[in-house]
Each structure stands twice: as C-alpha cells, then as structure tokens.
C-alpha cells in the first residue's frame, strides 16, 4: 500500500517568505507527526496530531511555526517569516494510533536563502 | 564514539560479515524502542522495534537487544549486504509520550 507522502520534495525560498509543507499520511492512520532533521543529526520532534487536534506541539521552536490537520488526514506545516536557520529536512510520520510504529515519509528539503 | 556535526561514528564491515550497532538511551522511563535505517536523501525506514518487557527480538536478518539495566540498545545485522549501507538511528518513546527521541546516527559502510 501507499506510504507517507510529502510535497514538495524540495523547496527553496528567500528569508522572510512564508512556506507550506504538506503531508499525506498512510490511509487510516490516526496519528501524525512532524519532525525536523538538520544535516548529520537525528530527527527532532516538532508536533503530534491525534485526529484533528494537536495533542503535543511542544517541539515547535517558536510562534513562526504552525501546523494544521483539519480533517484528520492531510496535514500542513506552515512557517512564517522564514529564517536561514529554518533550512532543514522536514519529515512527516504517521502511525496507527498513539505509541504505535511511526512510518516516515521522504521529507521536504527546505532551503532558506 | 561521539558524533560532532557531520562526523558520524562509522562502522565499516565486509560484505557477508555480521554488524553490531550500539545505542545508549537516556530516559529510564522509555518503554518502546525502535531502530530506523536512513539512506541518503530518504526518510527513516522502520527496521525493528522492541518494548521494555522484552530483552531480545528477532526479525529477518536483524536482532535487537535491550539492556534496561545499563540503558543500552543494540542492532545486529546478519550477513551484511551492500544494501545495508546507510545511517542507522535508534529512537525511544517514553511511557505516555508519543514523541520519538532519536539518538546519534551510526554510519554503516559495507565493503564488497
């Protein structure tokens, strides 16, 4: 079956611009997660959705970052006033419920110039 | 050893030999552990997991060992193949907590 998909695969933007990153989880998975991975590091947690609600957003670095999952399926990670330090790979994962195996998408590579 | 920036600990292994990758975890309350494989330009791929009520679990060519006393996790890969070349991450999930905390990656290079 289809895995987690993310679009775009690559995004180049200028400092100060707004970006949206999309995640399509595995069909039927109720839990969805966003992580951020810098070069040479492991993924770092950003936010977790159970259904439509953000159950844990404690990993979001500041109020420029926001994520939504309005219908409990697709999620969008939104970054306002991008900074060069936001450059990273943004990974999405989904699982068949909390504390179940998380399956990752291919990531979106964001480069802020 | 410790990894700094881009310099990941690297294990070079001859094709056909067994590989062992080690991971120390930090949270004694963690009760679920996962190994992921990540190839260049791709997302992490699930390999095998283990819960804290077990100390060993086997999959196809892979075995995970958990030592809760010393908070240590290892991944054993039998008969390593060129396709096993990748960065391997361990991750832990605390009880009641749905976020994964990833350890430092280990680069495995398989020599044909």
Is residue B34 less than 8 Å (CB to CB) from chain A?
yes
d(CA A8, CA A88): 13
- Please report the pLDDT score of residue B55 as a whole number: 96
Q: How far is the CA of B25 from the CAs of A25, B62, B91, B102, in angstroms?
A: 28, 20, 8, 9
Look at residue B29 in the predicted model and tell me its pLDDT: 86
- Give the Cα separation of A10 and B84 in Å (integer): 26
Chain A interface disruption, residue of B100, B102, B105, B107, most A CBs within 10 A = B100
Mean pLDDT of the A61-66 span: 97
Distance from the B98 Cα atom to the nearest Cα atom in chain A, whole angstroms: 6
Average pLDDT value for residue range B16-32 = 91
When pLDDT is averaged across residues B62-82 and rounded to a whole number, the result is 96
Per-residue model confidence as pLDDT tens digits over B32-42: 999 999 999 99
* Chain A closest-CA separation from residue B79 CA (Å): 25
Q: Is the pLDDT of residue B6 over 80?
A: no
How open is the CA angle B23-B96-B88, to the nearest 5 degrees?
25
Q: Is the pLDDT of residue A22 over 90?
A: yes
When CB atoms are compared, the residue of B8, B45, B101 closest to A40 is B8
Predicted confidence at residue B3, as pLDDT, reads 33
Q: What is the mean pLDDT of residues A8-35?
A: 97
Give the bridge partners for B86, in sequence order. Answer: B108
How far apart are the C-alpha atoms of A5 and B44, rounded to whole Å?
13
Q: Residues 86..105 of B with a Cβ closer than 8 Å to A: which?
A: 89, 91, 93, 98-105
Nearest Cα neighbor of B20 from B74, B73, B72 is B74
Pick from B83, B87, A7: which is nearest to B75 by CA?
Answer: B87
A41 has pLDDT over 70: yes
Percent of chain B with pLDDT strictly greater than 90: 78
What integer pLDDT is reported at residue B94 of this predicted model? Answer: 74
φ, ψ for residue A73, nearest 5 deg = -130, -90
**pLDDT 10s digits, A84-94:** 999 999 999 99
Residue B79: predicted pLDDT: 97
For residue A98, the chain B residues in CB contact (below 8 A) are 98
- Using CB atoms, pick whichever of B32, B41, B44 lies closest to residue A99: B32
pLDDT tier, B49 (very low <50, low <70, confident <90, very high otherwise) = very high
Q: List chain A residues with CB under 8 Å of B6.
A: 39-40
Q: How far is residue A56's CA from residue A6's CA, in Å, rounded to a whole number?
A: 21
Looking at the predicted structure, is the pLDDT value of residue A7 above 50? Answer: yes
DSSP category for residue B7: B
A76 bridge partner residues: A22, A68
The share of chain B scoring above pLDDT 70, in percent, equals 92
- pLDDT given for residue B28 in this prediction: 86
Q: What is the pLDDT of residue B2?
A: 34
Check residue B7 and give its pLDDT.
67
In whole angstroms, give the CA distance from residue A14 to residue B18.
Answer: 46
Smallest Cα distance from B27 to chain A, Å: 16
């Amino acid at each position: 079956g289809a895995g987690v998909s993310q679009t775009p695969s690559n995004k180049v933007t200028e400092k100060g611009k707004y970006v949206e990153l999309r995640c399509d989880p595995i069909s039927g998975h109720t839990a969805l997660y966003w992580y951020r991975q810098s070069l040479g590091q492991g993924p770092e947690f950003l936010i977790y959705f159970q259904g439509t609600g953000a159950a844990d957003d404690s990993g979001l670095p500041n109020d420029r970052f926001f994520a939504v999952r309005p219908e409990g399926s697709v999620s969008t990670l939104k970054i306002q006033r991008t900074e060069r330090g936001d450059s990273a790979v943004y990974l999405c994962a989904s699982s068949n419920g909390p504390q179940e195996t998380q399956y990752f998408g291919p990531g979106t590579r964001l480069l802020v110039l | 050893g410790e990894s700094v920036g881009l310099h990941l600990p690297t294990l070079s292994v001859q094709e056909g030999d067994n590989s062992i990758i080690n991971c120390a975890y930090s949270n004694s309350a963690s009760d679920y552990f996962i190994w992921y494989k990540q190839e260049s330009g791709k997302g992490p791929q699930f390999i095998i997991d283990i819960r804290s009520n077990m100390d060993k679990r086997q999959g196809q060519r892979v075995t995970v060992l958990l030592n809760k006393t010393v908070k240590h996790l290892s991944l054993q890969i039998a008969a390593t193949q060129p396709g096993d070349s990748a960065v391997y991450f361990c991750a832990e999930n605390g009880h009641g907590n749905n976020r994964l905390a990833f350890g430092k990656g280990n680069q495995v290079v398989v020599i044909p």
